[in-house]
Structure 1
Amino acid sequence: MERIASVMYLYPGKQAEYQKRHDELWPEMEEALKEHGASNYSIFLDRETDTLFAYLEVENKAAYDKIAETDICKKWWAYMAPIMKSNPDNSPVAKDLEQVFYLA
């Protein structure tokens, strides 16, 4: 199992909407995440900075990364783009984090 962590960035005033959209995660998006090997997926919010910290475990990162090619993922990104910093393809601006410690 590979562990992945990253940070993403909300626009100011969008915390409640971000929470709402994830509380109502589309079943098709949940299915795509699982089909691409995601598990133990959590997103945490720093309310002072509008910074999100995402953590998930995947069976194979290369296989997981292919989720970006799916129509449902692209649709989700477009849905989320108005409330968070996004790239020109609507993917969230994200910074991958390097693991420096792990306690099993």
Structure 2
Amino acid sequence: MPTFAFRMKLKPGFSDEYKKRHAAIWPELVALLKQTGVGEYRIFLDEETHLLFAVQEVSGEQSSQELGTTEIVQRWWAYMADIMETNPDNSPVTIPLKEVFYMP
């Protein structure tokens, strides 16, 4: 199963709000992610640098970041835009990460 990893950046002072919003992630967004093959999806926060590190296992060839043409993802991006670094279309600024070690 392919794994995608990327980093994003949270604005300082918003870690609690970020956790709160993700604790109440919209069911229709979860359904879309699962329907398009995103299985496990984890996000880690480095509270010192405000960097978010995301890892997704997918059953296809695309990650959640490629679902930006869907209405629900665009609404989620707009909802999160006030607390994250974003692009002009409200998508989070994401930096793909290259795997350099794997231990099965």
Shorter-chain TM band: over 0.9
Does residue 37 of structure 1 match 2:37?
A: yes
Q: After TM superposition, which residue ranges in structure 1, 4 or more long, deviate above 2 angstroms?
A: 61-66
How many pairs align? 104
Structure 1 residues without counterparts, runs of 5 or longer: none
Task: Tell me how large the CA RMSD over aligned residues is.
Answer: 1.3
Whether the aligned pair in 2 keeps the contact of 1:39 and 1:56 (CA below 8 Å) is: yes
Q: Among all aligned residue pairs of Structure 1 and Structure 2, give the percentage whose two residues are the same amino acid.
A: 48
Please list, as runs of the form range in 1=range in 2, the aligned pairs for 1:11-30 lying within 5 A after superposition: 11-30=11-30
Q: CA deviation at 1:100?
A: 1.1
Q: Secondary structure at the match of 1:79?
A: helix
| Distance in 2 (alpha carbons) for counterparts of 1:66 and 1:5 | 13
Structure 2 residues without counterparts, runs of 5 or longer: none
- 1:86/1:65 CA distance change after superposition, 3 Å: closer
TM-score, L = length of structure 2: 0.94
Q: CA deviation at 1:7?
A: 0.5
